[in-house]
Structure 1
Amino acid sequence: MAENSSLNESLDKLARACRILEMEGHGDLTLGHLSLRDPDGRGFWMKRNRIGLGEVCGPEDFVLVSFDGEKLEGEGGRHSEWPIHSEVLRLRPDVNVVAHTHPFYSCVMSSSTEPLRPFTLDADYFGEVPRHVDDVALITAVSEGVAMAKAMGPHFAVLLSNHGVTFCGTSIEHATCVGVFLEKAAKAHIVGASAGFQTSMPTAPIRARRNSQIMSPVHVEHSWNYFCRKLDWLTNPDARTQPKLFR
Structure 2
Amino acid sequence: MDELMTKTLKAWRFLYRRGFIEGFGHISARLPDDRFMITRHSLGMNAKPEDFVVMDFEGNKLEGAGDPPGEFPIHLEVLSARPDVNSVIHYHGMYSTSFTTSGQLLRPIHLMGTLFHDGIPVYHDPRLVSDRKRGATLAQALGSHRAVLMCAHGATITGASVEEAVASAFLFEENAHRACISATLGTPQWIDDETAADAGAELIRTRGPFRRVWALVEAEDEDEQVRNA
Question: How high is the TM-score relative to the length of structure 1?
Answer: 0.85
- Which residue is equivalent to 2:145? 155
- Mind listing any 5+ residue stretches in structure 2 that lack a counterpart? none
8 Å contact from structure 1 (residues 23, 231) kept in 2: no
Please say which structure displays the higher CA radius of gyration.
1
Please say if 1:26 is aligned against 2:20.
Answer: yes
Please say if 1:187 is aligned against 2:181.
Answer: no
Once the two structures are TM-superposed, the CA of residue 141 in structure 1 deviates from its matched residue by 1.1
2:56 aligns with one of 61, 66, 73: 66
Please say if 1:231 is aligned against 2:225.
Answer: no
Once the two structures are TM-superposed, the CA of residue 211 in structure 1 deviates from its matched residue by 0.2
Once the two structures are TM-superposed, the CA of residue 217 in structure 1 deviates from its matched residue by 2.1
- Which residue is equivalent to 1:93? 83
- Mind listing any 5+ residue stretches in structure 1 that lack a counterpart? 1-6, 240-247
Counterpart code for 2:18: E
Distance in 2 separating the partners of 1:131 and 1:116 = 10
Instruction: Assess, with a 3 A threshold, how the Cα gap between structure 1 residues 144 and 197 changes in structure 2: closer, same or farther.
Output: same
Distance in 2 separating the partners of 1:111 and 1:168 = 22
Distance in 1 separating the partners of 2:146 and 2:105 = 15
Answer with 205-214 or 116-125: which moved more: 116-125
Distance in 2 separating the partners of 1:112 and 1:88 = 26
Structural mapping, 1:156-235, within 5 Å = 156-202=146-192, 204-215=193-204, 216-235=206-225
Distance in 2 separating the partners of 1:118 and 1:64 = 35
- Which residue is equivalent to 1:243? none
Distance in 2 separating the partners of 1:107 and 1:200 = 18
Distance in 2 separating the partners of 1:200 and 1:164 = 22
Distance in 2 separating the partners of 1:238 and 1:93 = 38
Distance in 2 separating the partners of 1:135 and 1:223 = 30
Query: Number of residue pairs matched?
Result: 227
Distance in 1 separating the partners of 2:146 and 2:190 = 24
Question: How high is the TM-score relative to the length of structure 2?
Answer: 0.92
Instruction: Assess, with a 3 A threshold, how the Cα gap between structure 1 residues 190 and 235 changes in structure 2: closer, same or farther.
Output: farther
- Which residue is equivalent to 1:35? 28
Which 4+ residue blocks in structure 1 deviate beyond 4 angstroms? none
Percentage of pairs with the same residue: 33
The CA RMSD measured in Å over matched residues stands at 1.8
Once the two structures are TM-superposed, the CA of residue 125 in structure 1 deviates from its matched residue by 1.7
> What secondary structure, in the 3-state scheme, does the structure 1 residue paired with 2:157 have?
strand
- Which residue is equivalent to 2:42? 50
Once the two structures are TM-superposed, the CA of residue 135 in structure 1 deviates from its matched residue by 4.9
Once the two structures are TM-superposed, the CA of residue 237 in structure 1 deviates from its matched residue by 4.5
8 Å contact from structure 1 (residues 95, 168) kept in 2: yes
- Which residue is equivalent to 1:15? 9
